[in-house]
Amino acid sequence: MDLTKTALGIELGSTRIKAVLIDEKHIPIAQGDFEWENQLVNGIWTYSMDMVHKGIQTCFANLKADVKAKFGVELTTVGAIGVSAMMHGYLPFDRDARQLAEFRTWRNTITGEAAEKLTELFGFNIPQRWSIAHLYQAYLNGEEHVGSIAYLTTLAGYIHWQLTGEKVMGVGEASGMFPIDSGKLDYNEEMVQKFKKLTGISLRDILPKVLTAGESGGTLTEAGARFLDPTGTLRPGIPVAPCEGDAGTGMAATDSVRVRTGNVSAGTSDFAMIVTEKPLGVHREIDMVTTPAGAPVAMVHCNNCTSDINAWVSLLAEFCELTGAKVSKSELYVKLFNKALEGDPDCGGLMSFNYYSGEGVTDLDEGRPVFARTPNAKFTLANFMRTHILSALATLKIGLDILTQTEQVPIDKLYGHGGFFKTPLVGQRMLSAAVGAPVSVMETAGEGGPYGMALLCAYMLWKEQGESLADYLDNKVFAGAKSSTLMAEQADIAGFSVFLERYKKALPMEKKATEVL
């Protein structure tokens, strides 16, 4: 096995850190992972940096073990490494590289005042999740550490910095920190100056340098190799691709970087990415970010997707255990998801809100998972499961309607990826019912972000002179890829529409729940 003809993508997702190693044919050949979960500490959704370090090292150790078991060799090197993570959030450091505040993740909805004021100042939607919203809110709050910030980055940017010593990041990840000028492939200078005039803070001094897909993000240092692999087996000197966010890696993993292509990533959170021909108007529900190559992308991001489903499956698994039934959680997911297909298209009068945390699209700063039904509703297991699956997509649908109806953005076909699509056909069919368009799922859909990051590494290593990312993915990676495409039946589409209208009418119930629970 020639380890130099491999590419390694690592992604720090919401519930798992996962590494995927691909060969020169872009086929996944080994993987490792580590399960974790964010914590609500003093009102802040966060992950401790100790857990970040432990998690990525355990994930890499598991990858090494997988390579050893499959190929009988030690993983001492790879052709290239790339790191991805949950976009947005807030990680500030001083001149001595000391962390100045807890890591504030994308899940926090504590920057409403800052987001609103910056959106008005820039004439550009700044969501609460974005790093610039967190920075300005800390400024407005008078937090002492703001004046000491020498470097502000994201989780992916932090890991990249530890591996290479370079304060850089890919343009897609950077577009979740601060607005990007897609013509110049850099932060929007006019907005940079407006922020400096407003606060006195020079963003050029503290934000990472912006790179595009295919450029070098540096090389793995001796310290970086030990950071990833404390055993000392991994050798330094490996090329490192610019780090990216989970949105960008999702686009790469689904071959969705061309105009009018799109993908939906559905896991702990869910978001739709539609590559547009130009920037759109200002909508609170829609982010304008970029592909890893810098093209404008309309993003509908929802903080909540499968967490509530996971909680109910855990409860039902407890019941199975109580009765002596031997069924694994993975089997239970498949059985319950398939059961949902037997439910009424409109869920028979059941209602669910899956809000573990606040939700910007529906203007809620906090969340409370709520399940409700009328006395005469058809309370069956099939309807129960279908309700939770449609609820996981409802907020996304509200945002997508603005894209397709208000902005007239065409969606020819969507690609789905992430844990929501692991059970064949079910999530795919429900998403198609939500958007009224065909949904395709590739064989590699379950690999998701780390696979997409590995592909960005491969593009950096093996692209031809002048070959665009879109061409590389079309011609070199996905030309013979196997995928399934499904269009929902009209009854499913009509049923989702009825469910969504009831969902919108019931939103005040969810709002009240955040006040009284």
Torsion of CA 245, 247, 250, 255, to 10 degrees: -110
At 470, the pLDDT band (50, 70, 90 cuts) reads very high
CA dihedral 249, 250, 255, 257 (to 10 degrees): -70
- Co-location of 238 and 318 in the same domain: no
How many residues are there in the chain?
517
Separation of alpha carbons 172 and 213, rounded Å:
9
At 76-135, the pLDDT tens digits run: 999 999 999 999 999 999 999 999 999 999 888 899 999 999 999 999 999 999 999 999
Across 453-472, average pLDDT? 97
- The pTM for the full model equals 0.83
| Residue 447, pLDDT score | 59
Q: Is residue 21 part of a domain?
A: yes
Same domain for 237 and 314?
no
Q: Which of 230, 254, 278 is the last residue of a domain?
A: 254
Average pLDDT over residues 306-332: 95
The answer to whether 170 and 243 are in contact (CB under 8 A) is yes
Is the residue at 263 inside a domain?
A: no
Is the pLDDT at 484 greater than 90? The verdict is no
Q: Which residues of 21-48 are buried (b: 16+ CB within 10 A; e: fewer)?
A: bbbeebebebbbbbebebeeeeebbbbe
> Hey, what are 15's tokens?
């519930």
pLDDT-based confidence at residue 445 (cuts at 50, 70, 90)? low
User: Do 9 and 96 sit in the same domain of this protein?
Assistant: yes
Share of the chain above pLDDT 70, in %: 99
In degrees and rounded to multiples of 5, residue 10 shows phi and psi of -125, 130
Q: How much of the chain is helix, strand and coil, in % rounded to 5?
A: 40, 20, 40
State the pLDDT at residue 15: 86
Write the secondary structure of 448-507 as one string of H (helix), E (strand) and C (coil): HHHHHHHHHHHHHHHCCCCCCHHHHHHHHHCCCCCEEEECCCHHHHHHHHHHHHHHHHHH
Same domain, residue pair 338 and 203: no
Nearby residues of 480 by Cβ (< 8 Å), 6 or more positions away: none
Average pLDDT of the segment spanning 462-482 = 93
- 335 and 200 together in one domain: no
In a domain, 461, yes or no: no
pLDDT for 412 beyond 80? no
- Picking from 23-37, 388-402, 411-425, 502-516, which range would have the lowest pLDDT averaged per residue? 411-425
Task: Give the total number of structural domains in the chain.
Answer: 2
99 and 213 fall within a common domain: yes
- 404 vs 96, more confident: 96
Question: In 3-state terms, what secondary structure has residue 101?
Answer: coil
Rounded CA-CA distance 420/418 in Å is 6
CA–CA distance, 118 with 127 (Å, rounded to integer): 9
Which of 233, 254, 275 terminates a domain? The answer is 254
Alpha carbon 464 to its chain's center: 29
User: Are residues 126 and 229 located together in one domain of the fold?
Assistant: yes
Phi first, then psi, for residue 355 (nearest 5°) are: -80, 95
The one-letter amino acid at 97: A
Is the pLDDT at 443 greater than 90? The verdict is no
pLDDT, one tens digit per residue, over 190-215 is 999 999 999 999 999 999 999 999 99
- The reply to whether 196 and 334 lie within a common domain is no
- 496 falls within a domain: yes
Q: Work out the widest C-alpha separation in the chain, in whole angstroms.
A: 66
Looking at 235, 254, 273, which one is the last position of a domain?
254
249 and 339 share a domain?
Answer: no
Radius of gyration, alpha carbons of the chain: 22
Model confidence over 152-181: pLDDT tens digits? 999 999 999 999 999 999 999 999 999 999
Q: Domain of 67: which CATH number?
A: 3.30.420.40
Bridge partners of 180, per DSSP, are: 187
The pLDDT of residue 119 is: 96
- What local confidence, expressed as pLDDT, does residue 6 receive? 98
Confidence band of 265 (pLDDT split at 50, 70, 90): confident
**Within a domain: 260:** no
Q: How far is CA 72 from the centre of its chain?
A: 34
State residue 26 phi and psi, 5-degree precision. 70, 25
Q: Do 366 and 248 share a structural domain?
A: no
Residue 139 has pLDDT above 60, yes or no: yes
498 C-beta neighbours (distance < 10 Å), count: 13
Identify whether residues 239 and 161 lie together within a single domain: yes
Q: Which of the two residues, 416 and 33, has the higher pLDDT score?
A: 33
Mean pLDDT calculated for residue range 450-478: 96
Over 60: is that where the pLDDT of 510 sits? Answer: yes
Rounded distance, CA 227 to CA 61, Å?
12
What pLDDT, on the 0 to 100 scale, is given for residue 393?
96
Q: Which two tokens stand for residue 294?
A: 């810098």
Give the closest residue to 236 by CA, choosing from 165, 155, 157, 156. Answer: 165
Domain hosting 330: range is 307-444+487-516
Question: Is residue 219, in this structure, part of any structural domain at all?
Answer: yes
pLDDT in tens, 225-262: 999 999 999 999 999 999 999 889 989 988 889 888 88
* Average model confidence (pLDDT) across the chain: 94
Three-state DSSP state, 187:
strand
Let me know if residue 302 belongs to a domain.
no
Paired tokens of 371: 């399940």
Provide the 3-class DSSP secondary structure of residue 120: helix
pLDDT for the residue 458 = 98
Helix (H, G, I), strand (E, B) or coil at 147: helix
> What DSSP state is assigned to residue 346?
T
Residue 486 β-bridge partners = 439
Contact criterion met (CB below 8 Å) for 172 and 275: no
pLDDT of 446 higher than 70: no
Per DSSP, the three-state class of 322 is helix
Q: State the number of CA atoms in the 13 A half-sphere of 510 facing the CB.
A: 27
Residues 117 and 239 in one domain: yes
Per-residue confidence (pLDDT) for residue 482, from 0 to 100: 82
| pLDDT for 126 | 96
Query: Quick one: what percent of the chain has pLDDT higher than 90?
Result: 79
Does residue 462 belong to any structural domain of this protein?
no
Beta bridge partners of 383: none
Segment 317-343 shows an average pLDDT of 95
